[in-house]
Amino acid sequence: MQLFLDTTDVAVLKDLAATGLVDGVTTNPTLIAQSGRPMLEVIAEICGVVEGPVSAEVAAIETEAMLAEGRKLAAIAPNVVVKVPLTRAGLGAVVEFTREGIQTNVTLCFSAAQALMAAKAGATFVSPFIGRLDDHGADGMSLIHDIRTIYDNYDFDTEILAASIRTSAHVTAAAIAGADCATIPPATFLSLFKHPLTDKGLDQFLSDWAKTGQSIL
């Protein structure tokens, strides 16, 4: 499973990328606004930190304008993935981006029917929003299961990118459901390393080791 960071905080990204476990980055207009920085500058900087896919989202809502914005974003670096909303106009842009060899991430996916249309349009990634579906009273994870079944039934190449992740349990459930990738906020990424029994066990081992008076080196 590929693990992406959902962030525009370059300092945090550099720190977590140093783990060697970050496969890519996703951004969205909200995260760009939170950075307080020019979008093109932030995306270029992120692309210099990670070699994997970096999603940069268009702001336009009409196909032609999305195509113009997407081509500009794709020209920033070879690992830019153009993020497009799951609308009729957005999928029209995805069909053209696919013809042009530009990678796409279709975002704001909330149903299996939408995911089917994204795959037919040739999307590189589709982003089902798990947390927002849960917030809405639905079962976000069942959407991942349904999309996995549909994509496997028809051998679609579109990768399932579990998004709107809130907890480490979301990440593991998405992995069990067969998501190809998950995009994770930095705090949740850090929580993936942790378990209280690991801390407790390590304390005990260190204490017992100190009693031996030994040194390995």
| Residue with tokens 């990678």, as numbered in its chain | 103
Pairwise CA distance, residues 142 & 97, whole Å:
29
Q: What is the dihedral of CA 103, 2, 165, 20, to 10 degrees?
A: -110
Shortest reach from residue 217's CB to ligand E4P, in Å: 44
* CB proximity list for 128: less than 8 A, separation 6 or greater: 109, 110, 115, 140, 143, 144, 147, 160, 161, 162, 163
188 binds ligand E4P (CB under 6 A): no
Q: Residue 112 corresponds to which tokens in the numbers above? A: 């299996």
Q: Give the residue with the Cβ less far from ligand E4P, 74 or 174.
A: 174
Catalytic residue among 83, 194, 200, 211: 83
127 binds ligand E4P (CB under 6 A): yes
Which 8-state DSSP code applies to residue 94? Answer: H
CA distances for 132 relative to 11, 137, 165, 185, angstroms: 27, 9, 9, 14
Count residues contacting ligand E4P (CB under 6 A)? 11
Active site residue 72: no
Q: Give the residue with the Cβ less far from ligand E4P, 28 or 114.
A: 28
Q: Give the residue with the Cβ less far from ligand E4P, 127 or 158.
A: 127
Query: Which of the stretches 109-117, 127-135, 149-157, 209-217 binds ligand E4P when contact is defined by CB under 6 A?
Result: 127-135
Q: Give the residue with the Cβ less far from ligand E4P, 34 or 198.
A: 34
163 binds ligand E4P (CB under 6 A): yes
What is the binding site for ligand E4P (CB under 6 A)? 6, 26, 28, 107, 127, 129, 131-132, 163-164, 183
Positions marked active-site: 83
